Amino acid sequence: MNLAEQLESLRSPLLTLCLSCLSKGDYEPLPQGAFSAPLRNLVVRMLSVDPVKRPELDEVWSITQGIVQAQVQMLERGTTKGSH
82 located within any domain: no
Percent of the chain scoring above 70 in pLDDT = 88
Say what the pLDDT of residue 55 is. 95
83 located within any domain: no
Q: CA 46, CA 55: separation in Å to the nearest integer? A: 6
Q: Which domain holds residue 23?
A: 3-77
Look up the pTM and report it.
0.65
45 located within any domain: yes
Amino acid at 19: L
84 located within any domain: no
37 located within any domain: yes
Residue/partner pairs of 43-46 with CB below 8 Å, 24 or more apart: none
Q: Count of domains in the chain?
A: 1
Tens of pLDDT, residue by residue over 28-69, are: 888 888 888 888 999 999 999 999 999 999 999 999 998 899
70 located within any domain: yes
What confidence tier does 84 reach under pLDDT thresholds 50, 70, 90? very low
